Amino acid sequence: MKKALFVLIFGMLILPFFASAFDIVFNNPLNADILKVTIDKIVSFIFYISLGLGPLMIIIGAVIFTTAGQNPDQAEMGKRVIIYTLIGLAAIFLAKALIYIVINVLRGLG
């Protein structure tokens, strides 16, 4: 047991020396060099995902609400799904707009 633990720890300590012998190249998946472009691409990705998921969640909330029948807890859950989805969509729309507002204010255009 102790020998296996020693080999494991020794292997973890010596492995970076062998890995650093090779040239490792990391490609930038965002193709962005400055922070503004990086933040804009991340927010745009979240924005476009939410454009697909938002209406789907509203439909799911509506189905939960309409199939509630006499169960007030399920009807309340359907209402909450719709309300929280609308709040989330509004927050994402405001985040997208806030980037451009801050950039324009910092440039002196706003």
Region of 28 (left: φ > 0; alpha: ψ -120 to 50; beta: rest) is beta
CA atoms within 13 A on the CB side of 97: 6
Q: In this structure, is residue 2 part of a structural domain?
A: no
**What single-letter DSSP state applies at residue 26?**
-
Q: In this structure, is residue 23 part of a structural domain?
A: no
| pLDDT at residue 55 in the model | 94
Q: In this structure, is residue 9 part of a structural domain?
A: no
Place of tokens 């292997």: 11
Q: In this structure, is residue 99 part of a structural domain?
A: yes
Domain encompassing residue 92: 30-107
Q: In this structure, is residue 19 part of a structural domain?
A: no
Looking at the chain, the whole-number percentage of residues with pLDDT higher than 70 is 88
The more confident residue out of 91 and 19 is 91
Q: In this structure, is residue 6 part of a structural domain?
A: no
**Dist. CA 26–CA 17, nearest whole Å:** 18
Q: In this structure, is residue 49 part of a structural domain?
A: yes
Assess whether pLDDT exceeds 60 at residue 3: yes
Q: What is the pLDDT of residues 58-108, one digit of tens each?
A: 999 999 999 998 999 999 999 999 999 999 999 988 988 888 888 788 888
Neighbouring C-beta atoms of residue 85, cutoff 10 Å: 20
Please give the tally of structural domains in the chain: 1
